[in-house]
Amino acid sequence: MRAKITYVVTAAVLVFYFVLVGSRGVLLIRHGTLLTVTFGVAVLILPAIGIWFLWKNTQFVRRANALAAELDAEGGLPVDDLLRTPSGRIDRDSADAVFARRREETEDTPDDWRCWFRLAVAYQDARDTPRARKAMQRAIALHRSRTPASPAPSGQ
């Protein structure tokens, strides 16, 4: 819950910043000289990129949370039984051992989004965030591309 509150607060601050910067860009454009219009357009590009980035990240988080909820309902969420250091950080050797199992599981069934989800968690536990994100994107893509099972043909 703490992470969700932090995300919402950060997003709200960013939106406030985008509005503030955007209004300055509009003021520059309204001034009407070639230089201020050029700067105004340049200033408006930054909030546009920021809004796009925030939107894409929000979509990613919502989809990953939906997969987590579905996996939890199935009883397939990975259990956090990793060893921890006295400071509370995950022990690197423990995370590497779990990662090796998750990687083998994913290699055995590369089309299963559940395996990719668990691999993403293992990457995150091993502190490899870029690969964790790519694995989660793969899980989301596989989940979205699956089609409902068609009914079995009748014997007629």
User: Over the Cα atoms of the chain, what is R_g?
Assistant: 22
Place of tokens 């490899």: 128
Whether 56 has a pLDDT exceeding 60, the answer reads yes
Read off the pTM. 0.76
H-helix or E-strand spanning residue 48: helix 34-74
148 confidence band (pLDDT: 50, 70, 90) = low
155 confidence band (pLDDT: 50, 70, 90) = very low
